[in-house]
Amino acid sequence: MPEAGDDLVARCHRSIARGSSSFHAASRLFEPRIRDDVWLLYAWCRHCDDEVDGQDHGHRPAATAAGAVAAEPDAATRARRFESLRRRTLAALAGDAVEDPAFLALQRVARAHRIDSRWPADLLEGFAMDVAGHRFATVEDTLAYCWGVAGVVGVMMALVMGARDPAVLRRAQDLGLAFQLTNICRDVVEDARAGRVYLPAELLARHGVAPTPAAVADPANARGVHAAACELLARAESFYESSRVGLRDLPLRSAMAVAAARGIYREIGRRVRRGGERTLASRTRVPRPLLGWLLLRGAVLAAWSRVERGRERPARPMLWTRI
């Protein structure tokens, strides 16, 4: 838990606890100083995502007592919110006085770890693709989006953990990409109901599904949508495998937390694949008893990465990369 009196860290802790139960569980394995800064960075990322999407910690607004659900923000509203995010982010990074806790958190963590403004800017460009209603024709198109909303987050998280070597940052990028590919496949129908399709059109076409929100959300197409998602999850596996090599370059407790998060998200993907199209009806989660086992397994994998330091580092596979 954060030190007494640090209200900003406490607020950011509440944000990650609400926004990502999986990452929150893994984050407890960090050394306290790094853990607090991870929470600070997460809170800004979460805030930006929620502002653009009109969500509350990654969740759609709940129905009111009368049964009404808040409408998705229109294009003009989203564009206005995005420009506000960009302006406040630049102000925070420039060292201007800020009051909003999310931007104060970014300012604090960026200053402490010398995070170059290019990385937050890349994340905002990822959100800009959502604002513009970008469509994804190929797997490479989807990977470019994943870089903007998650791969660059992996890079910034690695910087918080003390990594500076581009080869290590590349492995952190790979884990972020794997996480987002998993999220896309887990939430494919939920996203389609909100008017978004992140599965590449080329994969959907291969399984007879039109790349439109209506088609992806249609239960009659569930088998084809699931098959396309499984193809994308196979690509995620390559990035999960690559990311493992980066554990050896992190401090032990950071490696434990990252390995645990890696195992939890990877298990979500496995459950989506094994569960068939029925997994598309609701958000797949890891049961609490298994969560404990995956945290322990992550600790073991991190300890093993200390042994691997004495071995020749495997070359990174020929995978998509932005850095």
Per-residue pLDDT tens digits for 171-199: 999 999 999 999 999 999 999 999 999 99
Residue 239 and residue 175 in contact, taking contact as beta carbons nearer than 8 Å = yes
**pLDDT for position 38:** 97
**Contact predicate 302/263, CB 8 Å:** no
Query: What confidence score (pLDDT) does residue 74 get?
Result: 80
Q: Is the pLDDT of residue 68 over 60?
A: no
Please report the pLDDT score of residue 21 as a whole number: 85
Residue found under tokens 């609400």: 18
Looking at residue 53, its pLDDT comes to: 79
Share of the chain above pLDDT 70, in %: 93
- 147, pLDDT greater than 80: yes
pLDDT single digits (tens) 267-300:
999 999 999 999 998 999 999 899 999 999 999 9
Which candidate, 145, 153, 143, 149, places its Cα nearest to that of 173? 153
Q: Which CATH architecture has domain 7-308?
A: Orthogonal Bundle (1.10)
Residue 256 CB: number of other CB atoms within 10 A? 26
Q: Give the model's pLDDT for residue 69.
A: 39
The DSSP code for 30 is S
Q: Per-residue pLDDT averaged across 228-249, rounded?
A: 98
pLDDT bin (cut points 50, 70, 90) of residue 77 is confident
Confidence at residue 20, expressed as pLDDT on a 0 to 100 scale: 85
Query: How far lies 248's CA from each of 28, 105, 166, 171, 212, in Å?
Result: 19, 28, 14, 11, 42
What pLDDT is stored for residue 56 in this prediction?
67
Residue 156, amino acid: M
- Of 74, 22, 24, the C-alpha closest to 53 is 74
The pLDDT value given to residue 254: 98
Q: Which two tokens stand for residue 54?
A: 């009109």
pTM above 0.85?
yes
Q: How far is CA 5 from CA 8, 10, 11, 80, in A?
A: 9, 9, 11, 35
| pLDDT of 6 | 83
Mean pLDDT of 156-167: 98
| Residue 56, φ and ψ in degrees, nearest 5 | -125, 100
Q: Does the structure show a pLDDT above 60 at 60?
A: no
Average pLDDT score, the chain: 92
Element at 227 (helix H, strand E): helix 222-244
**What pLDDT does 57 receive?**
59
Q: What's the token pair of residue 129? A: 């693709």
At 23-51, the pLDDT tens digits run 898 999 999 999 999 999 999 999 999 99
For the chain, give the percent of residues with pLDDT over 90.
86
Return the domain boundaries, the chain.
7-308
Q: Is the pLDDT of residue 167 over 80?
A: yes
Q: Which two tokens stand for residue 134?
A: 């970008």
Q: How confident is the model at residue 5 (pLDDT cuts 50, 70, 90)?
A: very low
What is the three-state SS of 88-148? HHHHHHCCCCCCCHHHHHHHHHHHHHCCCCHHHHHHHHHHHHHHCCCCCCCHHHHHHHHHH
Averaged pLDDT for residues 104-121: 97
Q: Please give the torsion angle defined by the CA atoms of residues 202, 203, 208 and 212, in that order, rounded to the nearest 10 degrees.
A: -70
pLDDT band at 3 (very low <50, low <70, confident <90, very high): very low
pLDDT recorded at residue 280? 92
